[in-house]
Structure 1
Amino acid sequence: MEKKRISSIMSKEIDFGTLADLFRGLGLPDVSWLYRIGFGIERRQEFYKDLASILRSGIRLEEGLKEVKASKSVPDYIVRILLDRIRRGRPFSKAMEGLVPGMERMVLQAGERGESEAGVEESLLILADTVGSMKKGQAAVIKSVAYPFSLFLGVIGFVVFYARTVIPKFIAGHMLDPSKLHGNAFLMFEVFDLVKNYWLPGLFLMFGGIGGLIFSMPYDFPGRKWLDRFPPWSIYRLWVGTQFLFSMSALMRAGVPVLQSLNILIKYSNPWLTKRVRVIKTGVARGAGLSKAMEKTGYHFPDDRIISRLRIRENHADVSEALREFSRDWQERGDNLISSQTKILNVVLILVVAGLLTLAGIGPYAFEVSSGQTMTGF
């Protein structure tokens, strides 16, 4: 009976709302990150689409949320929190605080204020479109990085296994004396012995370095502008640049003016993006067009080609639609660039694997040759 109960609990979807309540009870001040984990990009897209469809049929927001809850398309705790906040008098956009990124709330707020002609329903559809495009970009990045990373982990596992298991057994089985090895055999033994004795601290150091590299992505620091030309920072620049274009397009399509859209992005962006958007905002505030302000930053952000195209379209078309078009075009181009850049990493890793396999193949032979030369007096 107990086994059945445990199996039933494990089979259920994790209730991040309950976890958040538990952590809040333990005294943690901010648990909104737990809400957002359970309300990821795919769930948000479905939520925006379903709720927009319900509201367009004339149903009130509160009743619409109840229908969404009954459909189980989003976690129960999300709708529970929204209904509770709305009943307390909060606007829908304010009720979403802590559950979705700030930019998405601002698009909803624009619809509530009547800045978008079709109101909240249109804002929801804009968000569904924007979030869906961001999901594609996110999937492209993960897909491109997953293979080289798994290959890298395989290489590390192979080296550790070989150094800790194969080499010691080979030396013991052939009764070789490591102190009598010389030349290449001695160097190989020293390398494998180093891995054997210090593999755990080495792994901590290596993964600490990878963690530090990932942690550095959202920050701006001396030399970052130069690093943005090389992977993995260039991949990050492409990804965030696409998100910037989609976000600007969504805000402007919802009726938010350019300057206010930039202010919203500054408020809700990480330090790396904030620095670039703030410089663009300064140019716009001084009377420059969006393309001219982007060009004057000197960051080539999001991309020189997009800036040139925006300059042409700025005086002859709707800027928000132009940004939407550019963001889609650049996403496709960015996916190809990301793939080509990760291929470089793949080639490097494959060469490393080939080198290690060669080393593993000639290592035992080198040990035997060196030991044989020592015994025969050569």
Structure 2
Amino acid sequence: MSLQIVFTDARQKNDRGSNSSVASWLDRHLSFNTRVRFRLYKMIAVRMRQRATFERILTLYGRQLRRRGKTSVPRILDEIIDSIVTDGKNYAEAFRPFVPEDEYMMIFAGTKSGDIPGAMELICDVKSRTGVILNSAKKMATQPLLYLGIIVVYLYTIARFVIPSLLVGITMSKTDSMALDILVFASRLASPVNAVLILCFLAFSFVATWWSLSRLTGFLRLWLEKIPPWSIYRNIQGYIWMSSFIALVQSGVPESEALKNQIDRANPWLKERLSAILYNLKHQGGSLPDAMWQAGFDFPSPEIIDDIESCWGGKGAYQRLLEASKNWADEIQIATTTQTKYVQSGFTILMMTVLGGLMIVSEMVGRDMMNIGHFH
């Protein structure tokens, strides 16, 4: 299953009630995926600078997809066009039911500033950078699972094909073998029942971790953000939020209003942090970096807050932040890659230790059996 972090609870119900059908839900959540949206955003950025209208670009993209036998995304594009032409919605509101909230905020900023192509390019740049970070995070999760699978298969093979004959020999000799007892105990962990239990535990852990990323708050969450995957989620989410926030403020939206708009549709984890920042801005009267430090959540991240404080003040502060934000993703990627290497190294050492121990025990069992043979 493809791992993809959903940064907000952004999928919204359409006024036309098209979410009532399973097909429409699949269109929105599966067919109109990140890759498809990026191709559309890039086309919009290029062709709008060539004076093509927004509706014509969507129509062209839909026609291209229909030529390849695809109908799900063209239906969504038709709904967007209808919202613009018939209902008079602006570009951002027409897209809103079909895209994550952070993308909507950037499109909204582009609509307000009159720079839709720039907004589309910003979305592609931000999500492309975070995609690279996510790939590093996936490696962190997949390698330990692979090692666990190797150990389970090894133990199952021993339990299925080796131990029964050893037990017969030990029983007939009426002697004890501590090494065999250890090997039997370890192999029982790989029995079908235990394998199912391990699989259920891993599935539960995955679901619980996934749920906690966007919903867990409070002191426990602050402690968890010192380690992956919560630290990675905070860094990625902070970078994406900051990029959309900068775009909103640059388009003329006041800081407090931009935060309120984002809070209204944020998940519980993000809402807790943005609400604290907004409170400090309104009641403490300090700057944005001061409000972030006073919030006490280290959000977007300690490094980003330091950069914001360094760039803050005078005219063009947000433009300087936008330029600095390109380095944030690179720094997050380096940190994630470093964490991934540490985790992979740790699990490699653990696997080699476990397998090495099992091989030593197996060799001891072999010696015990040889001694029994010599004795008889």
TM range (shorter): 0.7 to 0.9
Please state whether the residue corresponding to 2:96 is helix, strand or coil: coil
Aligned residues: 348
Q: Distance in 2 between matches of 1:295 and 1:188?
A: 54
Q: CA deviation at 1:110?
A: 4.4
Mapped pair 1:157 → 2:149: yes
Q: Distance in 1 between matches of 2:237 and 2:102?
A: 14
Residue equivalent to 1:216: 212
Residue equivalent to 1:50: 43
Please state whether the residue corresponding to 1:230 is helix, strand or coil: coil
Residue equivalent to 2:30: 37
Q: CA deviation at 1:237?
A: 1.6
Counterpart code for 1:152: P
- Change in CA separation of 1:141 and 1:172 when aligned onto 2, cut-off 3 Å: same
Deviates more, 1:285-294 or 1:337-346: 285-294
- Change in CA separation of 1:241 and 1:181 when aligned onto 2, cut-off 3 Å: farther
Mapped pair 1:84 → 2:82: yes
Contact 1:241 1:301 in 2 (8 A): yes
- Percent identity over the alignment is 21
Q: CA deviation at 1:51?
A: 2.1
Among candidates 165, 168, 172, match of residue 160 of structure 2: 168
Among candidates 176, 185, 194, match of residue 190 of structure 1: 185
Residue equivalent to 1:64: 57
- 1:64-92: CA deviations, max 9, x gaps? 32233234499322312212322331413
Q: CA deviation at 1:168?
A: 3.2
Q: Distance in 2 between matches of 1:33 and 1:262?
A: 31
- Change in CA separation of 1:206 and 1:57 when aligned onto 2, cut-off 3 Å: closer
Contact 2:281 2:288 in 1 (8 A): yes
Deviates more, 1:327-336 or 1:97-106: 97-106
Please state whether the residue corresponding to 1:105 is helix, strand or coil: helix
Contact 2:59 2:77 in 1 (8 A): yes
Q: Distance in 1 between matches of 2:235 and 2:109?
A: 28
State TM-score, norm by structure 1: 0.81
Counterpart code for 2:96: E
Q: CA deviation at 1:125?
A: 1.9
Q: Distance in 2 between matches of 1:366 and 1:188?
A: 10
Q: CA deviation at 1:336?
A: 0.6
Q: CA deviation at 1:290?
A: 0.9
Mapped pair 1:321 → 2:316: no
- Change in CA separation of 1:140 and 1:313 when aligned onto 2, cut-off 3 Å: closer
- 1:322-365: CA deviations, max 9, x gaps? 33223211111111100111111101110122023213422322
- 1:156-193: CA deviations, max 9, x gaps? 22222222223432234454337854323312211212
Residue equivalent to 2:10: none
Among candidates 349, 352, 357, match of residue 350 of structure 2: 352
Deviates more, 1:344-353 or 1:157-166: 157-166
Contact 1:93 1:105 in 2 (8 A): yes
Residue equivalent to 1:234: 231
Contact 1:45 1:131 in 2 (8 A): yes
Counterpart code for 1:98: P
Contact 1:36 1:98 in 2 (8 A): no
State TM-score, norm by structure 2: 0.82
- Change in CA separation of 1:57 and 1:189 when aligned onto 2, cut-off 3 Å: same
- Change in CA separation of 1:350 and 1:47 when aligned onto 2, cut-off 3 Å: same
Contact 1:48 1:125 in 2 (8 A): no
Q: Distance in 2 between matches of 1:256 and 1:347?
A: 47
- Change in CA separation of 1:127 and 1:290 when aligned onto 2, cut-off 3 Å: farther
Counterpart code for 2:252: G
Residue equivalent to 1:251: 248
Contact 1:148 1:345 in 2 (8 A): yes
- Change in CA separation of 1:307 and 1:366 when aligned onto 2, cut-off 3 Å: same
Structure 1 unaligned spans of 5+: 1-20
- Change in CA separation of 1:23 and 1:335 when aligned onto 2, cut-off 3 Å: same
Residue equivalent to 1:146: 138
Q: CA deviation at 1:103?
A: 3.5
Deviates more, 1:314-323 or 1:225-234: 314-323
Q: Distance in 1 between matches of 2:185 and 2:312?
A: 64
CA RMSD of aligned residues (A): 2.9
